[in-house]
Structure formats: structure tokens, C-alpha cells
Structure 1
Amino acid sequence: MRLLNDLSRAMDTGDGMRTIGISEAEGPCALAIDVGSSSVRCLLYDRSGDQIAESEVQLAYTQRMTPGGGSESDPGELLDLVTRCIDGVAENTAFKNAPIAAVGMTSFWHGLMGIDRKGEPCTPVYMWSDKRSGDDALALANEVDVREVHQRTGCRVHSSYWPAKIRWLRRTQPETLARVQTWASVTDYLHQEFFGPLATSISMASGTGLLNGRTLDWDAGMLDALDLDPEQLPEIRDRSLAYEGLDEPFATRWPALANIPWFPAIGDGAAANVGAGCVGDDRIAMTIGTSAAMRLIVAEGDDRQPPSVLPHRVWRYRLDRDHQVLGGALSNGGNVTGWFASHLAQGDFEELTSAAARVEPDGHGLTVLPLLAGERSPSWHENATGTISGLRLSTTVGDLFRATLEATAYRMAAIYDDLRLLAAPDHEIHANGAAVLASPLWLQIIADTLDHQLDAVDAEAEASARGAALCALESLGVLSSLRDIDHEVSVSYFPEPDAHARYLAARDRQSALEAAISTISLDH
């Protein structure tokens, strides 16, 4: 089988991150709350970042998809899921015996919701993948200096971010807009429910498209462009400034958590880097879950400074006041491979992977734009759709699936082309995320495409949740530096020169296809 040949260059390098029993845990411990785009989970970590066995509770939910590209979540449902997850963890033996000293939280970046004068949600959570504001993003881009906005805020003018969504709501739902007292992320709302005041972290604010990355305050230029008052946005605080003293009924419900620090939420991408041990310019994190991203965390004040001018295809978010998160994100990752599995193999991912592994690198004659969920990085086309060129009667399911895996790797390589210039010359790349860690074939394809060794973390390690817990412990002073966090690797994948050469030619074909159809499919 081709799969064995593809994976012969992979090397097992260790046992990965550990899951330990409560008797082995080294205190103090932290509870991590991870509000994801398809589930909520809570779990415990000790001071070494080891997950405590049988401490995890995970509850799934489904976003509501609407005509025209809408993608929404119910803030009340998310609050209920978080409280039920904490209830579940609080009932287990590990929780009752662990010396819990802090709570850390992480959540998806870019989600927007409105809160009324009574402190109640008056909109759903509009997810980053909600594309209904695409036309408003294009209109806004014609009214502002998009290059200067990118340099100031670190974000492109795009439907993923708050400005386009707020403009869309003003145009299409003025009655809803009139009810909004404050715009917030879902974790801002959760902190309000648990503690009273409404505030956001520098990290969560950095993913809105409204934070000035130079002043770390709301950007006056974008507020003016939206006719938005800064009083309509939450107070900004750094991640080290904790909340304490749970409000009722939660203080009675969780007495062990009532009077310990709860630290402000950080963006899931930043948390994933921390959890994967990727803090510093010598470690790039690559995550493929539902979507995909490559990120580099650079500390201000290090010998190698963050760039003064942000490359065109790179965004800049924040972990905190002192750490920039540089990178790019694809809207298409595991969602695309899942779509192919459900439509071509009745959900049998292993069958598809085996078929794809029998195909030589770029041996299918296909050129794919895997843009089923639209596009963010690298080209930021608002109305992108998927395209497959080169179909023949002889094309097989394995051809289609391998071409799609490769095509996604090419999009990732476009991000890496810029990001590698900002990283240390001898940098490592660490892979995490459920979708890619489930596919050794995909990991090898990416290593070959990037022409760089790819180190996969333990598939059982929840990088974002781990990162939230470790950030909380670092803020307590338990950890001296986030750079010191272990970044154990389970398997390494090494690039093969012949495959890399084939993929370079295939990337050129993909770029040519994108250019050829851009005026037809991507911008109309």
C-alpha cells in the first residue's frame, strides 16, 4: 500500500503529553473551560500541564445554519453547556481531591453577540464562518484604507470580523441593532453571568477587527467608520487580571471555585500554541480541526522583534499585552475532509484515506480549490467557492480525496511562505488538532509540501484547553515562563524531496486556476 511508503519517513519520538491519575498530580491544579465551535469541554490539569484522568466532561452542540451563509450559536445554550460541564467535573473524584487554584478559559475568536440594557443576549452569537456580511465587508473596504486598517488592527476587512457584521446588522436588522447596549464575545457574556462586570481580554479583543494593536485600545478609526461609540464595547483587561468571587447561584453551586481566580478567556488559537509548547519565534504551531491555521507567538522585547510592518497575508492577534500571535487561518480544514467522507464514503474516513494513500503524490491529474466554506487566508476572497478541475471518467474517489488533502496543504504553504520569514531560521513546526492528527497521510503530505519536518503532538492532548490551564497557572506565578512549557512530540514526519518537487508544480497549477476563475467565481 502507498500508505506504508508515505509513512515510512515518520518516526515515533516519544509518548506525548501524559494523562495521569489524581494521585500523581502535582499541585496546584487548574480547571480549563474550552468553548469550541462544536462542543464545550471542562477538564483538569496539574502544574506540569498533565491532564488528570477522568476529569473531562464534553458536551456537543450544533450551530444553526441559515440561508445565505448564516452560522449562529445560541448564547443561552452555550451558558447552559458550560455550567453543565462544570457540574459534571465537580461530581468526579478527581475534582474533589485536586488542589484547584485557578480557572482558565478559552474560546473561538471572532464570534459576535449583542447584549441589551438588562444584560441579556439580544442576538445569537454570529460565528466567524457567518458569511452574510460579505457584501458589507466589500462596501466597507471601499470606504477605509484597508492596508492601514490591517496594519493598525492586525485584521483584514472581511466578513469574519466584527466591523462587517455590525454594518450588516445595521443595514438588515435595524430594530435588533437598536436593542444592543454592548457588543461582546460569548466568553465576555459568560464572565458577566458569573461575576457581574462585562469585560473582555486583550486576546479576545484582538480577534474582533476593532482593537488597535499599537495602543491596545479600541481603534478610533474603525469606530468612526462604523459610527460606533466606545461605550458600546467591553472594557479591555489583560489575561493576568483575574475575576474573583462568583455570583450566586454559582458560588453555592461550585463552592470549590467560588473564591479562586478565574482568568479572562484567551483566543483558542493563542491557547493552542501555548498548549502545544509553541511560544517563541522558534516554534510554529499548525492546527487543523474544523478549520486550519498556522501561528507564531512572538514576545515583545525579545531579541527578534515582531515585524513593524505586517506582511499582507498575515494577521496579528494577541495572547496578551506582551505576546503577539502572527499567522493565517483557513476556513477549510476538517470540515472539508468530513464533507468528502460523508458524500463519497458514507462517512468512512479510513476507507477514503486508504484509497488516497494508493495514489502517487499529485498523481491524479486534478487541481482543486478546497474553498467549500469560503476563504480567509491566504487570499481573503469574500465569496469563494470550491472548484475541481481535471475530472475524467477514470478519476477515482481516492484521486479526489488525495487531491483535496494536497490542495489544503498548498493553502497552508501559502501562509507558511510569509510566516517562515518571521520565525527563527531553525524553527520547528508542531501539528495539533483532531482532524489532522487522525490522518498520518495528511501530515506526511503537509511535511512534503512545506519541505520541513512536522512534529505531531499527542492526539489525546487537548492543546487549547491545556493552554488555557497553563496560562492561568503562569498568571498565578506557578510557572515562571510560558516558553518553559514542555512540548513533547509523539511522531515526526520528514519531507521527501521528490514529493516536494511535485507539489511545487501543483501549487503553481492551483494558483493559475485561482487566478483564472477569480473574476467569475470568487468575487461575484
Structure 2
Amino acid sequence: MNYLIGVDIGTSSTKAVLYDQDAHVLNQANHGYELHRNAAGMAEQEPEEIINAAEQAIHDVAAKADLTQGKLLAVAVSSANQSLLLLDKDKKPLSRLITWADSRAQRAADNLKMMTEGQQLYLKTGTPVHPMSTLTKLLWLKSDEPELFKKSAYFADIKAYLFYRLFHEFKVDLSIASCTGLMNIKTGQWDSQALDLAGITTDQLPEIVSGTTQAIGLIPTAQKKLDIPANTPFVYGAYDGALSNIGVGATKQNTVAITIGTSAAVRVVTDHPVIDPERRLFCYAIDDGLWVVGGPLNNGGDVYQWAVEHLVDSSAVKNENVDPYTLANHVIEGVPAGSHGLLFHPFLDGERAPLWNAQARGSFFGLSQIHTRADMLRAVMEGISMNIATVFQAVRALVGEPASVTATGGFARSQVWRQMLADILNCPVNIPDSFESGCLGAVVMAMKSLGMINNLDTPQNFIGNFSSYQPSAKAVKVYQRYTPLFQQVEEMLAPAYSEIAKLQERQNK
């Protein structure tokens, strides 16, 4: 038996999955780390903790492979995008890793939006102007941390840094580079206008390579930690969202992939760049003439977790002897679509698509004496889904009517949420039995790199079985009335977001 390993470097943990050559899952390991929020807007991580977690996860699953009777064909890597690590001349960290969730570049993003360059760069890079992007992070650091910025000899994302630590080569895959706001999506090279604005040079950034590029020749210390053959190919892969599409087989323009985990995303793969004239969506390169169009949302399962923690009666949980999420889902099933006329806007942590406003805030709208905690719970789940639907509608308007949606993430543990998503989108929703789409997508990219397959269309037998949910005509009718109102209320509240955010910041100091 021959083996492949898919690695997914996430915001809260790194996971490694061991596959056989037919993409059957044999084993997996997961190692977590802390997200530091020591200041307003901060979302940083210790790079050494992530490197250790990745090395340990690879070691743990590789130990389950019988390499006396088979071969480890490759390790392929997925990672979250839009992270930034400042490095000195010896490529040692000068900072913690600044993640996509860090919003301290808000002022830099606001300034760039008002500049002609902001519109020009969106058209060239496909990256919306927002604090998440590497470009705005660099603008913020140049302005607010000038000494640190001047000390920085190199700038990297977490995956480029991992490969440097394993192989002493400084490269970044096309997909991750495309998410930075610094790469021209038509040329596949660093954009000179973006670099000039950021105040950096090409020499300070990793070399952009294809996602199927292999790194071979682990340095001795890394080989010892991983305990795998030193000549094992490591494939650069892509960013986690693109690989999730590949991992669920959503590589055609008529299939939309939706992820609802801690955050959420809507994505569709195209064979040409598609730029949204309203600047609601991203367009990133993947590889080999493929692009991914869509929108990331800050507020997904984390908002539902907040609602369960605050709205589920702890005494009922104890009396029913069930976990709070099981009880919440049961309660939600008993509330009709529309939550008796209650809307919830889930912007507890600002919002990326479709608002691109880090100061957006959440709200209930329509509260009256008739409403209960059960109504509020369902309204929260509906609000998360309606927000996703606004991005879905933008994607549909740009690339055409989808035949189906493939959805993954922790939300899929809830049967009521699966059906609700189909109803709100008014589109069939397919849920794969396996949720490890990012790791599988990385392995598919490794297989292409090794010549085992010809393209990134994931074979159906790799993906496994689906559960399908058809829209309910009755519920669709309800949501077709509520979703436009959801959008109308959001537009009405938008002018007040910055003021309430300022008041909260002052009060919380």
C-alpha cells in the first residue's frame, strides 16, 4: 500500500490526514494552538506553535503508515490565507503571525478605499480592500509600526514559512499569493503598483510557484522530527478555500461550494477571472487556468455557538440530559420558518463579504412580546444562512445559475440547518459524508503533481457519499419574503455601524 498525507493549517489547529492511494482515509491527527487577542482588533499566533503542530501532526499520521510494505508518495499542504509574518535577514520571525482575522488595518483599508489606487488594485488583484488583506496589513505596519516595518527584510505567509523551515527554500504557491492583494491575477506575478504602495520589493517576498510544485530534500532537523524519508515530495498546494472546492468536486462553474464552520464562505471555480463590478466578491487564482470567485464571511458557526451559550436554558439541558446543541436543534425544529417575524443580523465580529465592513454589528429586528428564546435561536440560524444567501446571490448573478450547492463544515451536524440552507438558497444542497475536504483537495493536487491524475477534477469515488436536501416549497415561499427584508434592514443600519463601534470601543477601554 502506498500513502499520501494531506495537511491543513487552520486558524485554531493543524490537521493531518493519512490516505491510501485511492484516497481512503486511514488515520488523522489534530494539534491546536492559541489565537492571541491581547488588544482591540488583534488576532495573532505564535509561528513556532504552528510549525510544531504541523510537524507533530505529520509525524503522528506517518507513524501509522507501514513504510516497510509501501511508500509515502507525497505530503500536500493546505492553509488559511492572508496571514503575514515579518522576518529578519536570516528569515527569523520579528513578529507573531498576523492572521486574516486581525482588523487593526481598518484605517489603512478605509484610506485605500478612498484612493484611486484602491479601485485599480481590486481590478488587478481580485482582492477586496479590507483589513484581512496582506496589502492593507503592510500599509498599517508602515504607518503605525515604522521601526518594525523597517527592520523586516522579508514578508511571508505561514505556509511559505513552514516550507522554509522544512527545506530552506522561500516560495509561495500561486493561490496563497493571489489572496494577498499584491499579485496580479492575470500575470500570476507580484504587481509593481501594489508593491510600490506597500513600500516593499519583489526580493522581500517569496517566489511564486505553481501549487503542484514539489519541494524535495528535508533538512536533517526537520526529517528527524517528522520521521519520514528525506526525499518525500512536499507539494505546495493552495489556500484552504480553493482546496475545499476541489475536495468536494466543486470544480465546475455550475457547482457552488459553501463552507460553514467557525466562519463561512461561498465559492465557485471558473476557467477565467471574474471581477465583481460592485466589489463584493474576491477572485483568486488557483492553478492551471482555474480561478475561484466568491466571498468569505466572518460570522458562521461561532455566532451560533454564542447563541446556544446565551439562549439555551442550562436547567433544561440538565433535565433532558443532552448537550446544549442537541437541545437547541430540537427547539429550533419546533419554530416555523421566519421565526414568527424575527430577523437577526449576525455581524458579531464585523463582516467581510458582502459588506466589507469591520465595524458592522449584530442585531435582532422585529422583537415583540410574542417572541421566545426558541424564536431567537432559530432567527440566529436563519440570519447566518440569509447572510450567506446574499453572497450566494452575488455569485449567482456573476457566474450564472448553479445546478447544486455542496456544503461542508460543522453546521452539517445539524439536520435542521442542512434543510434550512436549501430552503433559504432555494437550491438543492449536497452534504458529503466526509468533512475533510481541505486535506483531500491537497492530496488531489499532489496526485496531479505526481502524474497520477490529469487534472483537478476530483474522482467521485474519492469524495464518497452525499446526503441531498431539496428545497421545501412552503419554506421557500416564506424565506423569499424575509430575505429581501433582511437586506433592507441591513442597508438601513449600515450608516450607524461605525458610530456604535466607536461607542463600544470607548466604553470597553
TM-score by length of structure 2 reads 0.91
User: Residues 417-453 of structure 1: CA distance to partner in whole angstroms, max 9, x if unpaired?
Assistant: 12224556562211111x2211111111111111110
Match of 1:437 among 382, 389, 412: 412
Q: Would the aligned equivalents of 2:344 and 2:379 in 1 still touch at CA under 8 Å? A: yes
Q: Distance in 1 between matches of 2:488 and 2:275?
A: 31
| Structure 1 contact 131–159 (Cα < 8 Å) conserved | yes
- In the alignment of these two chains, the number of paired residues is 489
CA distance in 2, matches of 1:270, 1:344: 35
C-alpha displacement of 1:94: 5.1
2:130 aligns with 158
Q: Does 1:338 align with 2:305?
A: yes
Report the secondary structure of 2:143's partner residue.
Answer: helix
Q: 1:450 to 1:46 in 2, by over 3 A?
A: same
Structure with the larger RCO, 1 or 2 (CA within 8 Å, 6+ apart): 1
Counterpart check, 1:317 vs 2:292? no
Which of 29, 35, 44 is matched with 1:57 structurally? 29
CA distance in 2, matches of 1:206, 1:325: 10
Question: 2:383 aligns to what?
Answer: 407
Question: Which residue, out of 109, 112, 120, partners 1:140?
Answer: 112
2:75 is matched by which residue type in structure 1? V
Name the structure 2 match of 1:297.
269
TM-superposition CA deviations, 1:225-273 (whole Å, max 9, x none)? 2222222211111112211000121234445341021111410001111
Runs of 5+ consecutive residues of structure 1 not aligned to the other structure = 1-26, 301-305
RMSD, aligned CA: 1.9
Correspondence for 1:485: 459
CA drift at 1:129: 1.1
Contact 2:8 2:15 in 1 (8 A): yes
Residues in 2 aligned to 1:310 and 1:478: alpha-carbon distance in whole angstroms: 39
- 1:96–1:137: structure 2 CA closer, same or farther, 3 Å change rule? farther
Alignment correspondent of 2:38: 66
Q: 2:489 maps to which residue?
A: 513
Displacement of 1:168 in angstroms is 1.6
Does residue 390 of structure 1 match 2:366? yes
Residue 354 of structure 2 corresponds to: 378
**In the aligned structure 1, how far is the partner of 2:224 from the partner of 2:282?**
42
Aligned partner letter, 1:168:
W
Aligned-pair distance for 1:299?
2.9
- In 1: Cα distance, 2:175 partner to 2:254 partner: 21
Query: Aligned with 1:249: secondary structure?
Result: helix
Q: 2-side partners of 1:482 and 1:37: how far apart?
A: 25
What corresponds to 2:253 in structure 1?
Answer: 281
Contact 1:353 1:398 in 2 (8 A): no
Residue 166 of structure 2 is matched in structure 1 by 194
Would you say the 8 A contact 1:152–1:214 is kept in 2?
yes
Q: Which whole-Å CA distance do the structure 2 matches of 1:431 and 1:308 have between them? A: 24
- Cα offset for 1:142? 1.8
Residue 502 of structure 1: CA displacement? Answer: 1.4
Share of identical aligned residues, percent? 28
Residue 357 of structure 1 is aligned with which of 333, 336, 352? 333
Amino acid corresponding to residue 424 of structure 2 in structure 1: T
**Which amino acid in structure 2 is aligned with residue 324 of structure 1?**
W
Contact 2:85–2:95 at 8 Å: present in 1 too? Answer: yes
Whether contact under 8 Å (1:281, 1:422) holds in the other structure is no
Match of 1:16 in 2: none
User: Match for residue 151 of structure 2?
Assistant: 179
Q: Tell me, which stretches of 5 or more residues in structure 2 are unaligned?
A: 315-322, 502-509
* Alignment partners' CA distance in 1, 2:326 and 2:224: 47
> Deviations 1:374-421 (Å, cap 9, x if unpaired)?
101112113111111222344222211111111111111111112224
Kept in 2, the 8 Å contact 1:204–1:265? The answer is: no
Change (3 A) 1:147 1:500: farther
Q: What is the CA-CA distance between 1:326 and the residue it aligns to? A: 0.9
| 1:42-84: CA deviation from partner (whole Å, max 9, x where unpaired) | 12112332211xx211112221112212111110110111111
Aligned to 1:56, the other structure's residue is in SS state: strand
Letter in 2 for 1:269: G
Paired position in structure 1 for 2:183 = 211
Say if 2:342 is the partner of 1:366. yes
1:426–1:183 Cα change, 3 Å: closer
Moved more, 106-115 or 340-349: 340-349
Q: What residue is the counterpart of 2:504 in the other structure?
A: none
Within 1, Cα distance between the matches of 2:367 and 2:467? 35
- For 2:214, give the aligned amino acid: A
Deviation of 1:93 after TM superposition, in Å, equals 4.8
Q: Distance in 2 between matches of 1:181 and 1:275?
A: 36
Change (3 A) 1:190 1:357: same
- Paired amino acid for 2:311: L
Which residue type is aligned with residue 29 of structure 1? Y
Which residue pairs with 1:29 in the alignment? 3
- Amino acid across the alignment from 1:474: K
Q: Secondary structure at the match of 1:121?
A: coil
**Counterpart code for 2:182:** L
Q: Is the CA contact 1:455–1:489 (under 8 Å) kept in the aligned structure 2?
A: no
In structure 1, C-alpha distance between the alignment counterparts of 2:425 and 2:464, rounded to whole Å? 21
Distance (whole Å) between structure 1 residues aligned to residue 109 and residue 275 of structure 2: 26
In the alignment, what sits opposite 2:471?
495
